[in-house]
């Protein structure tokens, strides 16, 4: 959401940086008494095999090396052929004391006890010294081999290495801003959730998703997921002799591996979804255009932004407000002077009357002060994290001295839901439509464990005084808003500015799988490459105990995930029949099954414009988080007209589309510049016409796991030229998006696989040859799009100002035949928001031999109760007129006019 580097905050969040923070240098490890070569590994015994499983005891195979902590002498091995496509390998301590991720955090997939004889993968072990391999059974290809280095399993260090083929194609292991296809030499991926201003490269960011996809061309794709919330370094490198490897190095937890056989790339996506959960089905309106800025200083400014979009003729679906609306930065409050509740309610009512939506932000930090109802009620219900002596753990966040919810405590969900219900009650509060949870890594303004929270808030002026003038209105008319937002006579408007009110300064033992006691909670000898410093720097201290007896040392990486999930439940409690919209900054494996994510505090630079593409590719196709996107035009620093115009177009073809900027930056709403107005209108018009197409793609990701955004190699897995492409993508599976990515350029080099394509804008057929082509003369308002041959795309005939109005428009069905003259497509229709959908349509379109057909279930009816209408079918790539329709010799297309009702099967023959 915003920069919280300490210098920036001291300056009242008015400081802006011109460039991203540099990548951190690797941190030196304490020199252990032993070396890796001294570690003896383990010996397997008591091996028991069944048709669907294998178990064994693992015993230390010699004297302990105690490299970074104490070796565990006795381990257990469990191997399960859970399905024909999924193999589970788990190595854990015999005493069951080492921390394991709780089922409530990530419910485990069902073990279907598949027969090892029918499974696609084969597990083999060597008993002494213990190692194992996982092979693809159809060709014997080794996918995972731990024989090159001994297993190390200590109290605060676990190492497992696997061999890899030379020059592997590896992807995933988010969250990061590194290349989409991961580097293979001297590369470290650190997973430790952290607030990360300027999203630095080669660094740990806001989320932890320890899953990688490895693609081996025509031999197939497989995936490996390590179910662990421990801080870790994942090394990808080569030995001195040139042998490639990937190595897990964690500071705790167990080895809990899930192997996904693939073999097609999207098969791995589906199999991963079966482990961590399928994506949520988000409301239709979430695919509209969203606007936000940290620094909209009063409710009048928010209303004026909405009015300005309307005046400029740019559709705006959702308005957002950052922490500016809060009273002294306190959750569940409003600033009585700048965001009075009465006018906030008027704002939301006006938005809803215009069929627009409203979203507000919440942070996890709760102001530690008596008399603040949210704190008082939470304290009474015992919902906050505790120190070892039972006192509430204190830190610093936006409101000042802060306590943090313990999401494991039995009353926390009830308390959080109640606070949300009171603040956002439709009758008495702000009737918002979605929640945005931020700062939930959790971010702590305390730099380290020596911080004195009470002193820090005084020294740093936290929260800052709000010196923005108190205004009845902006002094300018706002079209479409009620009288309270309009200019008033001068005498009534002459209100003196004043400062806002100042604030008054004001372990349990471990259980089963709750984590080992007596560890170094702050600086374990094996140190991860955390770009913020030690484990507890700028976050909740890692010695803090959760209600269930676990420690933040083990659970840190899913603190934000738990906040987001709890907020999702609270929104569901508030509106039980409607799909919640919750956007979160911090995530963990499985977050996508309920919530959305944006890529954090990027910068208004061309590199971050490009970065958003490769981030999207990983998140949607590999991490099963479908609704993702970046802050369009950039968050930190001043954007430019050219960059913002290009980004308006790029963002329109990502799932989540929001313009958002930091407080000290210039205004960057799309109506600020001539070219951004043109680009935004074009981008949103195109996005909205395609909204049902991408909504359909979302539906199938939620039900099958097939990603709604595809890297090129997902659709062309045997084309080696696609393996490293990270600045083009398929929007759905039919539209190839190839934005201009270079500054001050009017051209882009596009790779077209050997296939049939059509220019989206001109409908010209282009035969791809598996080579690059350069497209030139692209204005700041242009973006190349190509339709993949063999596709049928449902389009709305016209765009609209809101998604509600859009749903009233007829359809045009666009047929783009492949080289064999065939094409297929699909369309999913529902009411766009309800959880229970009794009447939906799932329609399949086909084109072959000049015959068009629509079939499937067609139970959905529009808001009027009538069937949805198809006004026209447009068939591309034709050489002559058919028996029906009008032939356009310029575009080589045939238009066949309807109407046809989507109430039953229909079709025609040319």
pLDDT digits (tens, 9 = 90+) for 245-280: 999 999 999 999 999 999 999 999 999 999 999 999
Which residues make Cβ contacts (< 8 Å) with residue 356, sequence separation at least 6?
306, 316, 317, 318, 319, 802
pLDDT tens digit string along 532-561? 999 999 999 999 999 999 999 999 999 999
Tokens matching residue 31: 């020199």
Within a 10 A sphere around the Cβ of 751, how many other Cβ atoms?
A: 19
Domain boundary among 276, 307, 323: 276
Residue 693 parent element (H or E): helix 691-704
pLDDT for position 698 = 98
Q: How far apart are CA 671 and CA 687, in angstroms?
A: 18
- Does 76 reside within a domain? yes
Pairing status of strand 74-81 against strand 53-60: antiparallel
- Does 570 reside within a domain? no
How many domains does the chain divide into? Answer: 2
Domain boundary among 236, 252, 276: 276
- Does 250 reside within a domain? yes
Q: In the predicted model, is pLDDT for residue 26 greater than 70? A: no
Q: In the predicted model, is pLDDT for residue 8 greater than 80? A: no
pLDDT tens digit string along 648-702? 999 999 999 999 999 999 999 999 999 999 999 999 999 999 999 999 999 999 9
DSSP 555-611: HGGGHHHHHHHHHHHHHHHHSTTB---EEESSEETTGGGT-EEE--S-BSSHHHHHH
Which residues make Cβ contacts (< 8 Å) with residue 276, sequence separation at least 6?
106, 225, 589, 590, 592, 593, 624
Domain region containing 116? 42-173+209-276
In the predicted model, what is the mean pLDDT of residues 331-338? 98
- Does 411 reside within a domain? no
- Does 746 reside within a domain? no
pLDDT tens digit string along 719-729? 999 999 999 99
Q: In the predicted model, is pLDDT for residue 78 greater than 70? A: yes
Domain boundary among 276, 303, 331: 276
More confident residue, 7 or 769: 769
Q: In the predicted model, is pLDDT for residue 491 greater than 70? A: no
Residue 503's pLDDT band (cuts 50, 70, 90): very low
- Name residue, tokens 């008054």: 504
Query: Is the alpha carbon torsion for 624, 625, 627, 631 positive or negative?
Result: negative
pLDDT for position 16 = 30
pLDDT tens digit string along 732-770? 999 999 999 999 999 999 999 999 999 999 999 999 999
- Does 88 reside within a domain? yes
CATH no. for residue 874? 2.60.40.1180
pLDDT for position 881 = 80
Average pLDDT of the chain is: 93
Backbone region of residue 813 per phi and psi (left: phi > 0; alpha: psi in -120 to 50; beta: other values): beta
Within a 10 A sphere around the Cβ of 496, how many other Cβ atoms?
A: 6
pLDDT for position 34 = 67
Short-list 856, 837, 854, CA closest to 845: 854
In the predicted model, what is the mean pLDDT of residues 706-713? 98
CATH no. for residue 143? 2.60.40.1760
pLDDT tens digit string along 47-72? 999 999 999 999 999 999 999 999 99
Residue 495's pLDDT band (cuts 50, 70, 90): very low
Q: How far apart are CA 524 and CA 554, in angstroms?
A: 13
- Does 825 reside within a domain? yes
In the predicted model, what is the mean pLDDT of residues 338-365? 98
* Residues marked as catalytic: 438, 441, 601
Which residues does residue 827 pair with via DSSP β-bridges, in sequence order? 843
Residues of the chain above pLDDT 70, percent: 94
Short-list 841, 695, 688, CA closest to 284: 695
Question: CA separation (Å) from 518 to 159, 510, 551, 650?
Answer: 21, 10, 11, 51
- Does 144 reside within a domain? yes
């Amino acid at each position: 959401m915003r920069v919280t580097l300490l210098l920036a905050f001291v300056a009242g969040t008015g400081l802006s940086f011109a460039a991203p923070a540099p990548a951190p240098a690797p941190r030196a490890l304490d020199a252990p008494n032993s070396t890796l070569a001294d570690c003896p590994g383990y010996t397997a015994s008591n091996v028991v095999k069944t048709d669907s499983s294998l178990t064994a005891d693992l015993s230390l195979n010699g004297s302990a090396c105690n490299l970074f902590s104490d070796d565990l002498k006795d381990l257990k091995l469990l191997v399960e052929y859970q399905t024909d496509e999924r193999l589970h390998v788990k190595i854990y301590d015999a005493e069951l004391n080492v921390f394991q991720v709780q089922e409530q955090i990530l419910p485990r997939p069902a073990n279907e006890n598949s027969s090892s004889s029918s499974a696609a993968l084969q597990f083999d072990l060597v008993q002494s010294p213990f190692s194992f391999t996982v092979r693809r059974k159809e060709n014997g290809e080794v996918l995972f081999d731990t024989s090159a280095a001994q297993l190390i399993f200590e109290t605060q260090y676990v190492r497992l290495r696997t061999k890899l083929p030379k020059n592997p194609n590896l992807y995933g292991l988010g969250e990061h801003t590194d290349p989409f296809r991961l580097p293979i030499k001297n590369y470290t991926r650190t997973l430790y959730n952290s607030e990360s201003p300027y999203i630095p490269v080669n660094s740990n960011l806001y989320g932890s998703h320890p899953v990688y996809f490895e693609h081996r061309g025509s031999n197939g794709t497989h995936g490996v997921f390590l179910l662990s919330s421990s801080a870790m370094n994942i090394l990808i490198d080569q030995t001195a002799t040139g042998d490639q490897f990937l190595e897990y190095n964690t500071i705790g937890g167990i080895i809990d591996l899930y192997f996904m056989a693939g073999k097609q790339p999207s098969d791995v996506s589906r199999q991963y979804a079966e482990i961590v959960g399928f994506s949520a089905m988000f409301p239709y309106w979430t695919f509209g255009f969203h606007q936000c800025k940290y620094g909209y200083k009063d409710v009048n400014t928010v209303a004026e932004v909405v009015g300005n979009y309307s005046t400029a003729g740019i559709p705006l679906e959702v308005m957002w407000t950052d922490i500016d609306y809060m009273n002294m930065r306190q959750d569940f409050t409003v600033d009585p002077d700048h965001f009075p509740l009465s006018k906030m309610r008027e704002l939301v009512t006006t938005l809803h009357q215009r069929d627009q939506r409203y979203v507000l932000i919440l942070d996890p930090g709760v102001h530690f002060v008596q008399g603040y109802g949210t704190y008082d009620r939470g304290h009474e219900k015992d919902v906050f994290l505790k120190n070892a002596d039972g006192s509430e753990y204190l830190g610093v966040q936006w409101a000042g001295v802060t306590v943090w919810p313990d999401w494991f405590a039995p009353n926390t969900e009830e308390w959080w839901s109640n606070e949300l219900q009171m603040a956002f009650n439709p009758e008495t509060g702000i009737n918002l439509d979605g929640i945005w949870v931020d700062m939930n890594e959790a971010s702590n303004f305390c730099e380290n464990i020596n911080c004195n929270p009470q002193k820090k808030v005084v020294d740093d002026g936290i929260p800052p005084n709000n010196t923005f003038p108190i205004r009845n209105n902006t002094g300018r008319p706002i079209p479409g808003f009620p009288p309270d937002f309009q200019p008033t006579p001068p005498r009534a408007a002459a209100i003196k500015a004043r400062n806002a009110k100042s604030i008054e300064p004001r372990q349990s033992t471990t259980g089963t799988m709750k984590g080992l006691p007596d560890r170094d909670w702050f600086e374990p000898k094996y140190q991860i490459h955390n770009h913020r410093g030690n484990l507890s720097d700028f976050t909740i201290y890692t010695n803090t105990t959760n209600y269930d007896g676990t420690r933040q040392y083990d659970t840190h990486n899913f603190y934000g995930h738990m906040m987001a999930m709890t907020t999702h439940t609270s929104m569901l409690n508030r509106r039980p029949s409607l799909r919640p919209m919750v956007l979160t900054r911090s995530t963990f494996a499985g977050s996508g099954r309920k919530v959305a994510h944006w890529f954090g505090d990027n910068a208004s630079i061309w590199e971050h414009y490009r970065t958003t593409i490769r981030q999207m590719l990983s998140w949607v196709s590999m991490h099963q988080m479908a609704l993702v996107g970046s802050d369009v035009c950039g968050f930190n620093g001043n954007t430019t007209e050219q960059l913002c115009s290009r980004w308006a177009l790029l963002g329109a073809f990502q799932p989540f589309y929001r313009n958002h900027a930091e407080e000290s930056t210039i205004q960057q709403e799309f109506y600020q510049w001539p070219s951004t107005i043109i680009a935004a209108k074009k981008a949103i018009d195109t996005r909205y016409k395609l909204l049902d197409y991408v909504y359909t793609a979302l539906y199938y990701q939620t039900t099958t796991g097939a990603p709604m955004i595809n890297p090129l190699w997902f659709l062309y897995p045997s084309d080696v030229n696609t393996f490293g492409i990270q600045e083009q993508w398929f929007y759905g599976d039919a539209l190839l998006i190839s934005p201009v990515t270079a500054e001050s350029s009017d051209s882009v080099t596009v790779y077209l696989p050997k296939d049939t394509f059509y220019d989206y804008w001109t409908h010209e057929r282009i035969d791809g040859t598996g080579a690059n082509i350069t497209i030139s003369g692209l204005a700041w308002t242009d973006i190349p799009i190509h339709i993949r041959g063999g596709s049928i795309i449902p389009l709305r005939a016209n765009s609209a100002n809101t998604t509600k109005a859009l749903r009233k428009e007829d359809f045009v069905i666009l047929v783009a035949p492949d080289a064999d003259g065939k094409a297929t497509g699909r369309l999913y229709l529902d009411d766009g928001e309800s959880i229970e959908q009794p009447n939906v349509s799932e329609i399949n379109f086909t084109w072959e031999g000049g015959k068009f057909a629509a079939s499937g279930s067609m139970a959905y009816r529009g808001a009027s109760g009538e069937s949805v209408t198809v006004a026209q079918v447009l068939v591309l790539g034709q050489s002559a007129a058919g028996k029906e329709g009008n032939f356009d010799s310029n575009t080589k297309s045939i238009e066949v006019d309807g109407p046809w009702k989507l109430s039953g099967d229909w079709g025609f023959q040319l």
